[in-house]
Amino acid sequence: MRVVSAAEMRELDRLAIEDYGISGIVLMENAGLKVVEVTRQMLGDVRGKVISVFAGKGNNGGDGFVVARHLFNMGGRVKVFLLAKTTEIAGDAGVNLRIWEKMGQPVYAVGQGDQLDHLRSFLAGSDLIIDAIFGTGFKGLAGQPAAGVIQAINDSGKPVVAVDIPSGLEADSGLVEGPCVQATQTVTFGLLKLGLVQQPGAGYVGRLHVADISIPSFLLKAEYLKRHLLTREVVSNWLAPRPAGFHKGDCGRVLVVAGSPGMTGAACLAAEGAARAGAGLVTLAVPAELQKLVAGKLTEIMTVALPATSGQTISRNALDDILALAERADVVALGPGITTHPETAAMVRELLPALRTSCVLDADGLNCLVDHPDIFQHTLVPLVLTPHPGEMGRLTGKTTAGVQKQRLSVAEQAARTWGAVVLLKGAATIVAAPGGTVYINSTGNPGMATGGSGDVLTGIIAGLLGQGLGALEAAAAGAYLHGLAGDYAARQKGYRGLLAGDILTCLPEALKETEENFPGGQM
């Protein structure tokens, strides 16, 4: 499903109105009716139920007036609170406000002080709250009286239906700078908004509904809308069924270059991730003295010894060996646990431009290039970069907090600048391609914030690349399957006790379900 910015959604509304003659009042009526549907699902028979509708001065408030009218006609005891002067309500919203008033129904102005105290008392007796205060144009901090009203709504403990987007949430970034409505359910219109699927905003949405309000469907599928939510159906369509005559050589040859003393776990997790993702042959190349150790841990993975430094990290002298191994592989996964030893870093800087095999670069592989990100632009093969926010900050000269505040734009800019697929890890992982296509992941949980989880992801992406997926599809599918496996693991282990190895263990189940439930998969 496509995910849009506030500006993109406004343009879709404009096209529906101006080019197809669907009036704004019709779109508003349809939006309100969709909210009414969800409200009735929550309350059942609305007769006699006390419903508080909070409306702002924009079109979001207009949607709220439509909701109020229909619920009143169904027998609900509806009270409308307006966070503006009635004289400020214009356009389609004004039309619906006037209808409400002509029906003889009052509108209550909301202020501060004693009025908020009375509001809290009233909310205590409400059965449900409709939040139609701010729409997708909101940015920054809510002023008064909105901030006080939002706090009162959250303090009430009553179920809340947010109209299009919870008030206080920024539609494009998912940022929450101040008070924000904690919705029980959110009904958004036309398409998902970016802020609804990015953190922290996604945590305020509750159950999310995407409502059809009669915008022509082909407008919602326009090619210029390049951001997508990763779903099971999307990923399933990328996982081609395997012909009966396939052998291991047809399923992808993956070379993992990883490890150093104390970091053999990272190397093993990445290699096992590739194998569990379906790669037919996986070779793990590590510093020479570590080969016996990793060979003892891994029974399904081939191991190779590489020339090492005095500190038993991968030496610059290993370059030719790695290039020779890469010639026999379909993809190289480089970086987990290799350290930033000067010789190792020099090897990484020389290896990337010389590679003729697709590459997934992670962890210390990225850290070795902090002062040399221009090398990405000189790499001739498909390249997938998988930084966490700290690594992205070091590569772009930003703070970790700065990256987190603008995750989407940072990932998109990095992909364009470096000419690589960039996977920015974290809640709602973002996968951005140089051409502007973006996927936002819908799977995963806080329990996956554990050592080794990223190494497993590196291996999964490499395994999928080796099986013939493109760089963007492999990275996006890898993020989805990694998160889904983590979700299965969390159900079994809980969040606090979840380990990276649990994600590996649950990966086959995640693959099985993804392949089984949609056309394109075959067991």
519-523 long-range contacts, CB within 8 A, separation 24+: 519/236, 519/237, 520/236, 520/237, 520/238, 520/239, 520/240, 520/241, 521/236, 521/239, 521/241, 522/241, 522/242
Q: What is the pLDDT of residue 521?
A: 39
Task: Specify the CATH architecture of the domain 232-516.
Answer: 3-Layer(aba) Sandwich (3.40)
DSSP bridge partners of 286: 305
CA distances in angstroms from 51 to 62, 145, 158, 188, listed in the order given = 16, 20, 10, 20
Which residues of the chain form CATH 3.40.50.10260?
A: 3-221
What is the DSSP code (8-state) at residue 280? S
Residue with structure tokens 């109209």? 163
Q: How far apart are CA 30 and CA 471, in angstroms?
A: 40
Residue 215 confidence (pLDDT): 97
CA distances from 95 to 58, 78, 99, 263, 312 (A): 12, 19, 6, 66, 75
What pLDDT sits at residue 233? 94
Contact, 183 vs 204, CB < 8 A? yes
Nearest alpha carbon to residue 138 among 183, 81, 85, 181: 181
* Strands 438-440 and 430-432, sheet pairing: antiparallel
Domain limits, CATH 3.40.1190.20, in the chain? 232-516
Report the C-alpha gap between 248 and 327 in whole angstroms.
17
- pLDDT number for residue 475: 98
> Two tokens at 69?
């009218």
Q: Is the dihedral of CA 14, 33, 221, 1 positive or negative?
A: positive
Q: What is the DSSP code string of 313-330? A: SBPGGGHHHHHHHHHT-S
Per-residue pLDDT of the chain (523 residues; tens, 9 = 90+): 899 999 999 999 999 999 999 999 999 999 999 999 999 999 999 999 999 999 999 999 999 999 999 999 999 999 999 999 999 999 999 999 999 999 999 999 887 666 788 899 899 999 999 999 999 999 999 999 999 999 999 999 999 999 999 999 999 999 999 999 999 999 999 999 999 999 999 999 999 999 999 999 999 999 999 999 999 999 999 998 888 878 788 789 999 999 999 999 999 999 999 999 999 999 999 999 999 999 999 999 999 999 999 999 999 999 999 999 999 999 999 999 999 999 999 999 999 999 999 999 999 999 999 999 999 999 999 999 999 999 999 999 999 999 999 999 999 999 999 999 999 999 999 999 999 999 999 999 999 999 999 999 999 999 999 999 999 999 999 999 999 999 999 999 999 999 999 999 999 999 999 987 544 433 2
Identify the helix (H) or strand (E) that includes residue 39.
helix 24-43
In this structure, the number of other CB atoms found within 10 A of the CB of residue 96 comes to 26
Q: What is the CATH number of domain 3-221?
A: 3.40.50.10260
* pLDDT at res. 246: 81
